[in-house]
Amino acid sequence: MLEFLAKYHLEIRNIGLVLIAFIGSPFLIWRTYIASRQVKTNEANHKSEMFTKSIEQLGAMENETPSKERRIGAIYSLEKIAINNRDYYSQVMEVLCSYIRLHAITKSAFSKNEDLLVALTVVTRCKPNKNIFINEEMHEINLSGAFFNNSDLNDLNFDNANLSHCSFDRSYISNCSFFNTNLNGAFLDEVSIDDTDFSHANLAFSSIKNTDLEKAQLTWANLTGAQLTGTNLTEANLTRAKLTGANLTGANLTNTKMTNTTTKGTVFKDNIGYNKSTEVT
């Protein structure tokens, strides 16, 4: 027996190691699984804490006045969370949209509060990480009823957003996109608009009086019942737009493109450059 053990001790040791590994591997796999779950739980808890703390900081006060610095920091923190975490993207968008609607409730509030502009910038640019959000539908931006009066709005993407009954009076809008945006009943009086796309936008019953829309893109836009009195539409593109019942009294229509534009019941009076031959009902 001793001779046998001495002769085959290496083989016996190897067999023993295999048996130990075989018996111990389930425990090793289980420990690895538990450790992995713990890591995921810790990460989830960390994200939840960051989300909660950021929301709390949106209401930060200092000496009984809003702390703009801390609020802006919270907004950027929420943006980071939204970009990298699909479970929080919609929640972050809802929180920031609600924040804007809650505070942009007077004609001067938005232009005087930098945190609101930062929040608006984040909401319009925040796109989820494509590696995490595959075939994910974007959350609708809902800012209905907010006031953006007397503001400089540059390089913002409002595509498909709900901006119904919002007010942009006397603002400057440059290089923005309102493609397929709901601007029903919105106020855009005395606004200067440059290099901005309103294609397919719903501007029905909106007020766009004395506004500069020179070279504006309004193809397929719905302007039913809109008030465009005194508005500059020089070289604007209204191809296939719907102007049913709109009021264009005093509007400048010099070289305005109105191919296949619906103008049934549209008021054309005291216009500059209006060519009735372009009207298509």
pLDDT in tens, 222-273: 999 999 999 999 999 999 999 999 999 999 999 999 999 999 999 999 999 8
- Other C-beta atoms closer than 10 Å to the C-beta of 40 total 10
Q: Is residue 7 part of a domain?
A: no
Find all residues with CB under 8 Å of 263, minimum gap 6, and list them.
243, 244, 246, 279, 280, 281
Find all residues with CB under 8 Å of 122, minimum gap 6, and list them.
75, 76, 78, 79, 96
- 160 and 116 inside one domain: no
- 103 and 151 inside one domain: no
CA distance 106 to 210: 22
Q: Is residue 249 part of a domain?
A: yes
Q: Is residue 133 part of a domain?
A: no
How many residues does the structure list for the chain?
A: 281
- Other C-beta atoms closer than 10 Å to the C-beta of 179 total 17
CA distance 147 to 101: 8
- 199 and 232 inside one domain: yes
- 236 and 268 inside one domain: yes
CA distance 170 to 157: 20
Q: Do 164 and 144 meet the contact criterion of CB atoms below 8 Å apart?
A: yes
Q: Is residue 177 part of a domain?
A: yes
**pLDDT at position 277 over 50:** no
Q: Name the residue range of residue 274's domain.
A: 141-281
- Other C-beta atoms closer than 10 Å to the C-beta of 7 total 10
User: What SS3 state is found at 66?
Assistant: strand
Q: What is the DSSP letter of 90?
A: H
pLDDT at position 112 is: 87
- 90 and 222 inside one domain: no
pLDDT at position 11 is: 57
The helices-and-strands tally (H runs, E runs) of the chain is: 6, 5
CATH number, residue 260: 2.160.20.80
**pLDDT at position 152 over 80:** yes
Task: Work out how many domains the chain is built from and give that number.
Answer: 2
pLDDT at position 111 is: 86
**pLDDT at position 279 over 70:** no
**Residue that is last in its domain, among 68, 92, 127:** 127
Band of the pLDDT at 205, cuts 50, 70, 90?
very high
Burial class (CB in 10 A: 0-12, 13-18, 19+), 204: buried
What average pLDDT does the chain have?
86
- 161 and 242 inside one domain: yes
pLDDT in tens, 32-64: 655 566 655 556 556 789 899 999 999 999 888
Q: What residues are paired with 229 via a beta bridge?
A: none
Q: Is residue 257 part of a domain?
A: yes
pLDDT at position 161 is: 95
**Residue that is last in its domain, among 127, 149, 175:** 127
Mean pLDDT of 191-212: 98
- 178 and 270 inside one domain: yes
CA distance 251 to 32: 73
Q: What is the largest CA-CA distance in the chain?
A: 119
Band of the pLDDT at 213, cuts 50, 70, 90?
very high
